[in-house]
Structure 1
Amino acid sequence: MAVPSRTPSSAPSDDVIRTRGLTKRFRGGQLAVDGLDLTVPRGSVFGFLGPNGSGKTTTIRMLMGLIAPSSGVATVLGESMPQSVGSVLPRVGALIEGPALYGFLSGRDNLARFDAADPTADPRTRQRRVAEALDRVGLSAAAGKKARAYSLGMKQRLGLASALLQPRELLVLDEPTNGLDPQGMREIRALVREVAAEGTTVFLSSHLLDEIEQVCTHAAVMSRGRLLVQGTVAELAARAQGRLVVRTPDVARAAEVLAARQVTDLRSAEGRVDGELDAPADDVLPAICAALVEAGVRVRGFGVERGTLEDAFVALTGEGFDVAG
């Protein structure tokens, strides 16, 4: 889905998206989103993270006024949704659940059709803006090809191009790299960074941790319809304390010492043993290092590897996750 936009306003509020108690229950009692309190700062690239079925797309559909919440409130660009759809959507570019394209039209003509539906778009600059949007997503060579002949990845690119026909205050992307090969993923990530650098807030939903870590400044983690945590990507990764790594030829002896010091989940490999700390690193590392030396362990490397977003997610939910990128 792509919607038209207008030039960003000159008096922005601090938060582009804010929800309080946002809830969606479908017929039959299915609770898709449960009491969501979400805050998206202006100027951020905000990653909305969670496994498939966690409630991400349902949340986005409520934010864009496509479905009404069962309870709770949502504001987008400072205005209540869905009550202010008419004034909010012209300021937003969106790609939700894949692009809605006219299969019998070419990629170029699809974009021209979308642009013509925007009452704020200047028809005198349409041809230039369509060409620029196609070029930004790497579809210039396929611009004359009918959309029904596009691959899934090409359709994703064309949908993103439709969201970039005009300047945006907010760009909402639901799984934007779906169907793309690794090179296409890298190109779309670079494009997201470019759009953000131009001053647009980007709200990006994904089930790929690698994607969030590479492009986002802030993130929120959803699971089974509930918000688990939100903050900067660095803050979320820091929730996982990381693992203590000892490099030594005396792996067996080092593992014994670490176990005696309550280092858990020990894993040994040639020349290395690592494990999880049960206390803040600054509090316990000096004593652990001293114990290794006293035990005659030849320590050739000692330190804590930084926790990742994957570590934080597993710590929060106990679930595995798709980290492919």
Structure 2
Amino acid sequence: MLDVLGVRDVIETRGLTKRYRGGQLAVDRLDLSVPAGSVFGFLGPNGSGKTTTIRMLMGLIEPTAGSASLLGRPMPRAARAVLPQVGALIEGPALYGYLSGRENLVRYDSADPTADPRTRRARVTEALDRVGLTAAAGKKAKAYSLGMKQRLGLASALLRPRRLLVLDEPTNGLDPQGMREIRTLIRELAADGTTVFLSSHLLDEIEQVCTHAAVMAQGRLITQGPVAELAAGTRGRLAVTTPDPGEAARVLKELGVTDVVVAEDRVSGELPTGGAEPVDPADLNAALVRAGVRVRAFGQERASLEDAFVALTGEGFDVAG
């Protein structure tokens, strides 16, 4: 897919590297491709280099080596031409606490040399409405909750039509209803042709809203591609429903099933992987029946993005980097 001006990958990096003073390697030879029209999730455990990458993409810091391009133009060299076409919310919104929400957006819009002052009021009103802040537009930003501040930061990124939106934890601080509204907004923006690049610590959020994703660990790219393909490459857990959970757990452990968890009448675990031949789940089911276990349901759960993440990185998921 091409974007409105014919760019196939709206974000592209080649060998992108950032080493800080003192020798810390934050990003190590990153080759990233974000397709036009995608909602792209950027994932990784704490300290994996995601925020450093985003800051390099936006021209906020210089890379040590390698290259990055946004909208087909090199960054940071083409920042002046590119950034007016990019909306960004990075590391939380920077707001003037003594100004109202509306006044903050007017200030942001005024700082854009390409923004027509004659239509400023209409742009600000529309942006406030899109993020659900119309009723609170006159309140001082310092009185906003974390979720309201996050909404206002997102509104600032939506003041103008954008070819690319870069969002760092866009639902941070929102209640469940607010999270659903922002997810719906992201889908609408993508449907209108805007490419959305977002980092999030909520894997469920990535699965619900993203078409593509990349996984980072220790500054390196582990994998990237369509979300469905990333999850499909990972086996789901075995799940058994039975009125004999204790006996079922014992039999499954003897047969090599690991990480066995018993929750009321449900037993789950990881299928054995050590043998030369893959274990047929049907053989496990037969063994349970031979042992006198009454099996009400038996099968493999669909692998989630979290399963894929743990399999790829060997870590739990805690995104702050």
TM-score, L = length of structure 1: 0.88
Q: Which amino acid aligns with 1:211?
A: E
TM superposition shift of 1:275: 1.8
Greater Cα offset, 19-28 or 240-249: 240-249
Distance in 2 between residues matched to 1:184 and 1:130, nearest whole Å: 20
1:177 paired with 2:181, answer: no
Gaps of 5+ in 1: 1-7
Find the counterpart in structure 1 of residue 88 from structure 2.
94
**Which residue is equivalent to 2:304?**
308
Residue aligning to 1:28: 22
Q: 1:251 to 1:96 in 2, by over 3 A?
A: closer
CA contact (8 A) 1:62 1:68 kept: yes
Q: 1: CA distance between counterparts of 2:253 and 2:3? A: 59
Q: CA deviation at 1:234?
A: 1.8
- Tell me if structure 1 keeps the 8 A contact 2:3–2:193: no
Matches within 5 A, 1:64-75: 64-75=58-69
Cα offsets for 1:159-185 (capped at 9, x unmatched):
111110111110001112223333322
Residue type at the aligned position of 1:301: A
Instruction: Return the offset for 1:54.
Output: 2.0
What amino acid is aligned across from residue 189 of structure 1 in structure 2? R
Equivalent-residue separation in structure 1 for 2:113 and 2:85 (angstroms) = 12
Paired residues for 1:198-237 under 5 Å: 198-237=192-231
AA in 1 matched with 2:122: R
CA distance in 2, matches of 1:187, 1:298: 44
Partner of 1:3: none
Deviation per CA, 1:264-321: give whole Å up to 9, x if none: 2223344333221135999612333333344443322111011212222222223222
| Secondary structure of the corresponding residue to residue 53 of structure 1 | coil
Partner of 1:5: none
Gapped regions of structure 2 (runs ≥ 5) = none
1:153 and 1:258 map into 2 onto residues whose CA distance is: 45
The one-letter code sitting in structure 1 at the alignment partner of 2:204 is D
Give, in whole Å, the separation in 1 of the partners of 2:173 and 2:145: 8
Inter-partner Cα distance in structure 1 for 2:214 and 2:179 = 21
* 1:80 is aligned to 2:74: yes
Q: Which residue of 1 aligns with 2:4?
A: 10
**1:291 and 2:292 aligned:** no
- Aligned mates of 1:219, 1:104 — CA distance in 2: 38
* 1:52–1:207 CA contact under 8 A, matched in 2: no
Alignment of 1:104-183 (within 5 A): 104-183=98-177
Alpha-carbon distance between aligned partners in 2 of 1:72 and 1:41, rounded to the nearest angstrom: 20
Matched, 1:264 2:261: no
Report what 1:319 is aligned to. 315
CA contact (8 A) 2:272 2:279 kept: no
Give distance in 2, aligned partners of 1:184 and 1:151: 12
Report the 3-state secondary structure (helix = DSSP H, G, I; strand = E; otherwise coil) of the residue aligned with 2:225.
strand
User: What is the rounded CA distance, in whole Å, between the counterparts of 1:9 and 1:295 in structure 2?
Assistant: 59
Shift of 1:44: 0.8
CA–CA distance in structure 2, aligned partners of residues 128 and 89 of structure 1: 22
Considering only aligned residues, what root-mean-square deviation do their CA atoms show, in Å? 2.4
Measured in 1, the distance between the counterparts of 2:5 and 2:159 equals: 23
Deviation digits for residues 100-121 of structure 1 (CA, Å, limit 9, x no counterpart): 2233332212212222232332
Q: Contact 2:12 / 2:70 at 8 angstroms: preserved in 1? A: yes
When structure 1 is superposed on structure 2, of 78-87 and 279-288 the one drifting more is 279-288
Quote how far apart the aligned CAs of 1:122 are.
2.4
Alignment identity in percent? Answer: 74
Matched residue SS, 2:67: strand
Question: Structure 2: which amino acid aligns with 1:151?
Answer: S
Equivalent residue, structure 1, for 2:37 = 43
Q: Distance in 1 between matches of 2:51 and 2:263?
A: 42
- The answer to whether the 8 A contact 2:89-2:153 is kept is yes
Following the alignment from structure 1 to structure 2, what is the Cα–Cα distance between the partners of residues 117 and 306? Answer: 48
Q: Give 1:98 shift.
A: 1.9
Amino acid at match of 1:303: G
